[in-house]
Structure 1
Amino acid sequence: MADQHVPTLYEWAGGSEALERLTEVFYGQVVKDELIGPLFAHMDADHPKHVAMWLAEVFGGPTRYTDERGGYAHMLSYHLGKSITEPQRRRWVSLLMDAADEVGLPDDPEFRAAFFGYIEWGTRLARQNSQPGATPPPQAPMPRWGWGVAPPYMP
C-alpha cells in the first residue's frame, strides 16, 4: 500500500487565499475592538497580508515571510515593548477563532485543534516577549506547526 500524502495545515486550510481572507476579516474586527484596537491603531495597511504570510509559512506553506519580511527576527520586533496583557491576548485569540468560523476555515476537530494549538502557543510567546525587560532570543528559526497527534481523517 502506497503512503498517502498527508496535507499540511496550510493546504488543509485552503492555502494563501484562505489565510488572507482570515486575516482581512480578523483585523477588520481587531481595529474596532475596545480592548485590543489601541494596540493596532497605527497598523500598516499591509499588516493583515503579512500575518497571513507568517501563518502560511508556519503551517507548511511558502517561505515568503522569511524570504520577504525577515522571518522570526522581524516578527519579534513588532512585539517588543508592547506590554500585551493576558486579557488582550485572550481577546486576540477569540477574535481570530471567530474570524476562522466567519471565513469558513475547515472546522473539523483535527484541523481546529492544531490551528488553535499554534495560536495559543504563539500568542503566549508574543505576550511574554512583549513585557518590559523581556529578553527573547533575537534570532530563532521560524516555527513549523503540524497536525500533532491526530492527522486529518481521510477515508
Structure 2
Amino acid sequence: MPVPETKPTPTLYEWAGGMEVFEKLMDSFYTQVLQDPLLEPVFRHMSPDHRRHVAHFIAEVMGGPKLYSSEEGSHFKMIQKHLSKHLTEQHRKRWVELLLTTADTLQLPDDPEFRSAFVAYIEWGTRIAVINSNLEEIPMAPDEPMPRWGWGEPGGPYIPE
C-alpha cells in the first residue's frame, strides 16, 4: 500500500500570505502609529522606507525571503536603530496593541497556532527593543544571525550578562 504524500509545513510567512501581506500590515500599522498620541513622537521622524524595512525584517524572521539581511541591513543594524531611544513598557504595549489590532483589521490568519507564534514573536521582539533602547552600545556581535521564528517554542530564558 502506498504511503500518502504529506505536504511540508508552511512557514509562518507562507501561512500569513507572503510579502504583500507583511508590507500591507506595516503600511497600515504605521499609519495608525503616526496618529497615536503616545507613539507618534517616537516615530514622527522615521524614514520613508521604515515601513518597508520593518515588513521585510519581520517577514524574514517568519521564514520569508532574506530581503532585509541581504539588501537593507542586519540583525545588528536593527538592534542599533533602537539604541538610546529610551522606550518604555507603555510604548511597547501600545505598539503591540496597535499591531495586533491592525492584523485583525487586515484579517491576517487568526487560527490559534499562527496567532500564538505571531504574538510570541511580537512580544519577544518588542521586549528586546525596549531593553536595547535603554543601552548605549550593542551587546552582540555585528555578524549575529537574524532571528528565525517558527511554529514551535523559542529558546531558553533571557539571562542578562
Q: Same fold (TM over 0.5)?
A: yes
C-alpha contact 2:80 2:138 (8 A) present in aligned 1: no
1:125 to 123, 128, 140: 128
Q: Is 1:147 the counterpart of 2:151 in the alignment?
A: yes
Between Structure 1 and Structure 2, how many residues are aligned?
A: 149
Q: Is 1:60 the counterpart of 2:63 in the alignment?
A: yes
Output the CA distance in 1 between the equivalents of 2:138 and 2:74. 18
1:116 to 111, 119, 124: 119
Output the CA distance in 1 between the equivalents of 2:133 and 2:141. 13
Report 1:8-87 matches (<5 A): 8-87=11-90
Structure 1's unaligned 5+ residue stretches are 150-155
**Range that drifts further, 128-137 or 88-97:** 128-137
C-alpha contact 2:13 2:59 (8 A) present in aligned 1: yes
Which TM-score applies when normalising by structure 2? Answer: 0.88
Q: Is 1:99 the counterpart of 2:102 in the alignment?
A: yes
**In the alignment, residue 97 of structure 1 is paired with which amino acid?**
L
Runs in 1 of length 4+ with deviation above 2 angstroms? 1-4, 132-136
Please identify which structure carries the higher helix content: 1
**In the alignment, residue 85 of structure 1 is paired with which amino acid?**
T
**Range that drifts further, 45-54 or 136-145:** 136-145
SS at match of 1:79: coil
Structure 2's unaligned 5+ residue stretches are 154-161
Determine the structure 1 residue equivalent to 2:159: none
Q: CA deviation at 1:136?
A: 2.5
C-alpha contact 2:26 2:54 (8 A) present in aligned 1: yes
Question: C-alpha root-mean-square deviation of aligned residues, in Å?
Answer: 1.3
Which TM-score applies when normalising by structure 1? Answer: 0.91
